[in-house]
Amino acid sequence: MQPYDPGVLLKSLHRANWPVAAKTYGSSHATLIGILAHWWIALSPSSHSVLDGAPSHGEGNAGWCDLMLCANEAAIGVVEVEGTKPIDKLKTLNAYFSSPRLILSSLGFGLLLVYAYNARGRGDAKQYPPAETSEVLSFALDVSASHPSKELLLLALDKVVEKNLSPIRISSPYHLGRLKKVEAVLLKGGQEAHREVLFKSD
């Protein structure tokens, strides 16, 4: 497989360990980063690697992504996982795509996984808003349009508030939700090229 083929990558994301995410309650930030690292390496254990604490996109401490996906020790993909400020993370992906650093010139795609974070409302009306908002999609399309030679994968992880929780989970408002759905959108040249659901919980 070509490690930077976005269509193949999107299909392969069905095999990521989403059942682990479905059994992890809370922000799941570290868990989701781990799931994506495992997914990438499992695609080609002999040639793929991950940089956790990746090189900055600029001089000094200009900014870092959550993961750098490599093939044969070359940077192929840049990953961000975010629950509260996805626009900021899209700006980071844009900065990596625009980076003058030679070691980042081989980047072919970016991946943003945005997940539902805070439930809103009261009582039976309490629910999580959609992870993928119109603002996030619009900004992602702008980033994609600015870098037509790169592909952008936008993953949205939605949650639902569960009822009749155990005492250990109801003790914190961060543990009220469970994973409902993971949906992926492939963006290229400022257009939505493909969209599909990767995972649904029972």
Q: What is the pTM of this model?
A: 0.94
Mean pLDDT per block of 10 residues along the chain (202 residues) reads: 72 96 92 97 96 87 88 96 96 96 95 92 86 96 97 96 89 89 97 96 82
pLDDT at 5: 78
Which pairing describes strands 109-115 and 48-52: parallel, antiparallel, or unpaired? unpaired
pLDDT at 3: 55
